[in-house]
A and B are shown apart, each in its own frame.
Chain A
């Protein structure tokens, strides 16, 4: 499905979390296109030209990430990226997070540790985010317990969701944008 010719501005939200936490599922549940996948490559630092051979030493890491899109109105198009949260994918982050509106950290209570690095990185980067607890089966933890376990500050919104359901995923995105709106309004007043 092509974009409208009036589309002028692409926006980004990144959904980050460990393997199997439901990132692709969430992208799919709200996207107007079938989620697409592409690759980003990083050439490792310190690579030069090997003078003896004239052949550039190849040391390239590739990671696949998927994305979907939502046309918000005639001009604005929102792209959702599912990004693996582990530390070894840090190079992908810098590219994804530059200019992003904000992030959703998806967590699975069976593997909370998978999201520690992502949360750390977002805080350090100053990227606003919300945390969504993707429920697999019966809830085993309260949101307060999860907040404690993640050592999450009180002003970061934390919600439960079922990434398979469109309404639920939509509610997560709305929570994020409301949070951004509150932050942005507050800063405009103080700055």
Chain B
């Protein structure tokens, strides 16, 4: 006997993403900073609206996930929607130069100064 689809209670993640699974994993890093480009509009999906409110100041993807209490992979799907429609912008981390695979010394010096001032 096989369970019928309509017998299954759709879980929250399924509802939030409309059943899409993560396909755009590399569009966002955990520490990509997200900034809203406008206010939520009436009728907008509530998670989208919450993201727009949270990101009035820059907020990292991982912080958005923690605030929304959703897994990072689900948040990335929601962010993709918003990015595609121009409602957010994403400030991506700088990749390390390929030849050294390490951040450049000048940037590391800035990190060091920041930590020392802590």
Chain A residues in contact with chain B, CB under 8 A? Answer: 2-5, 7-12, 30, 36-41, 43, 52-55, 62, 67, 69-73, 76-79, 81, 95-96, 98-99, 101, 126, 128, 166, 170, 173-174, 177-178, 180-181, 183-185, 187-188, 191
Contact partners of A183 in chain B: CB under 8 A? 102
Which of A3, A126, A178 sits near B59, CB closer than 8 Å?
Answer: A3
Say yes or no: A7 contacts B114, CB within 8 Å. no
Chain B residues in contact with chain A, CB under 8 A? Answer: 2-3, 5, 8, 21, 29-33, 35, 56-60, 62-63, 65-67, 70-74, 91, 93-96, 99-105, 107-116, 118
Kindly state the separation between the CA atoms of A126 and B100 in the bound complex, as whole angstroms.
11
Say yes or no: A184 contacts B100, CB within 8 Å. yes
Say yes or no: A188 contacts B115, CB within 8 Å. no
Say yes or no: B31 contacts A12, CB within 8 Å. yes
Most buried by B among A3, A37, A173: A3
Say yes or no: A10 contacts B71, CB within 8 Å. no
Kindly state the separation between the CA atoms of A146 and B68 in the bound complex, as whole angstroms.
41
Say yes or no: A5 contacts B58, CB within 8 Å. yes
Say yes or no: B111 contacts A76, CB within 8 Å. yes
Contact partners of B105 in chain A: CB under 8 A? 181, 184-185, 188
Measured between C-beta atoms, what is the minimum distance from B25 to chain A in Å? Answer: 8
Contact partners of A53 in chain B: CB under 8 A? 2-3, 5
Kindly state the separation between the CA atoms of A180 and B104 in the bound complex, as whole angstroms.
9
Contact partners of B67 in chain A: CB under 8 A? 36
Say yes or no: A30 contacts B30, CB within 8 Å. no
| Closest residue on chain B to residue A65 by CB atoms | B62
Kindly state the separation between the CA atoms of A170 and B116 in the bound complex, as whole angstroms.
8
Say yes or no: B100 contacts A180, CB within 8 Å. no
Contact partners of B35 in chain A: CB under 8 A? 5
Which of A2, A52, A79 sits near B30, CB closer than 8 Å?
Answer: A79
Contact partners of B104 in chain A: CB under 8 A? 184, 188
Say yes or no: B94 contacts A40, CB within 8 Å. no
Say yes or no: B30 contacts A187, CB within 8 Å. no
Say yes or no: B60 contacts A79, CB within 8 Å. yes
Kindly state the separation between the CA atoms of A8 and B94 in the bound complex, as whole angstroms.
10
Kindly state the separation between the CA atoms of A73 and B74 in the bound complex, as whole angstroms.
30
